[in-house]
């Protein structure tokens, strides 16, 4: 059985450049992380609000830019990998499958399907600036709760590989067995 839809791994925690009082070009009043903050986890926010997010909000609205700029007042130099992450995130199609790990619970994944295109919006504190790059999603549920998946049972390695990246499109040619396991687990959980 082949898997035809695109699959993406999106990490929703990470270092934040914002709310550093020493960097006024990045300061966002009312933003949840307080400086110094390391690896703030937005998993609950994403689940509760039916979205997936990626960082680097000071790049601005990606629908207005054909390419992500090389730098902004907040980010001196944007790594080429990060620029590619942001462009690819913006271009995720409706109906794509998203895998979101929960950093506070090693090996736990949430999986959902995108329901709309990329949007850029924020209104701290309810809608954090750090979550300005977002895509609407319907998260898998089981008996009213969000379905949790075990990365190890899905044959996803949590040490190295795409698990360590902020964003990754899962390549069917390299990971077809993993994608088939994910599809089978989703059918068993939500079917």
Segments of 55-163 assigned E as strands? 97-101, 108-114, 119-120, 133-139, 141-142, 145-146, 149-150
pLDDT category of residue 12 using cuts at 50, 70 and 90: very high
pLDDT digits (tens, 9 = 90+) for 155-184: 898 988 888 888 999 988 778 888 999 999
**Mean pLDDT across the stretch 13-34?**
78
pLDDT of residue 134: 97
Single pTM value for the model? 0.90
Cα–Cα distance between 46 and 112 in angstroms, integer? 11
Q: Which of 44, 147, 157, 142 is nearest to 102 (CA)?
A: 44
Percent of the chain with pLDDT over 70: 94
pLDDT digits (tens, 9 = 90+) for 47-96: 999 999 999 999 999 997 778 888 888 888 888 989 999 999 999 999 99
Query: Which class does domain 7-190 fall in?
Result: alpha beta
pLDDT digits (tens, 9 = 90+) for 148-159: 999 999 989 898
Q: Is the pLDDT of residue 10 over 90?
A: yes
Q: Is the pLDDT of residue 191 over 70?
A: no
Pairing of strands 7-10, 97-101: parallel
Q: Where are the domains of the chain?
A: 7-190
pLDDT digits (tens, 9 = 90+) for 118-150: 999 999 888 999 999 999 999 999 888 999 999
Whole-number mean pLDDT of the chain? 88
Cα–Cα distance between 159 and 87 in angstroms, integer? 26
Q: Are the CB atoms for 67 and 88 separated by under 8 Å?
A: no
Pairing of strands 141-142, 145-146: antiparallel
Q: Is the pLDDT of residue 190 over 70?
A: no
- Number of Cβ atoms within 10 Å of the Cβ of 155: 12
Within 13 Å of residue 154, how many CA atoms lie on the same side as its CB?
27
């Amino acid at each position: 059985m082949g898997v035809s839809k695109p699959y993406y791994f999106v990490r929703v925690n990470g270092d934040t450049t914002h709310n550093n009082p020493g960097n006024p070009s990045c300061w966002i009043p009312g933003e949840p992380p307080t400086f110094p903050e390391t690896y703030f986890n937005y998993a609950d926010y994403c689940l509760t609000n039916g979205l997936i997010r990626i960082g680097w909000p000071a790049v601005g609205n990606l629908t207005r830019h054909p390419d992500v700029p090389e730098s902004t007042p907040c980010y001196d130099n944007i790594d080429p990998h990060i620029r590619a992450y942001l462009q690819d995130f913006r271009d995720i199609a409706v109906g794509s499958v998203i895998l979101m790990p929960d950093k506070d619970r090693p090996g736990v994944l949430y999986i959902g399907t995108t329901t709309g295109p990329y949007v850029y919006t924020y209104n701290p504190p309810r809608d954090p600036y750090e979550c300005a790059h977002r895509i609407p999603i319907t998260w898998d549920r089981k008996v009213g709760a969000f379905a949790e998946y075990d990365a190890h049972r899905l044959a996803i390695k949590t040490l190295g590989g795409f698990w360590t990246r902020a964003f990754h499109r899962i390549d069917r040619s390299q990971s077809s067995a993993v994608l088939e396991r994910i599809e089978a687990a989703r059918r068993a959980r939500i079917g």
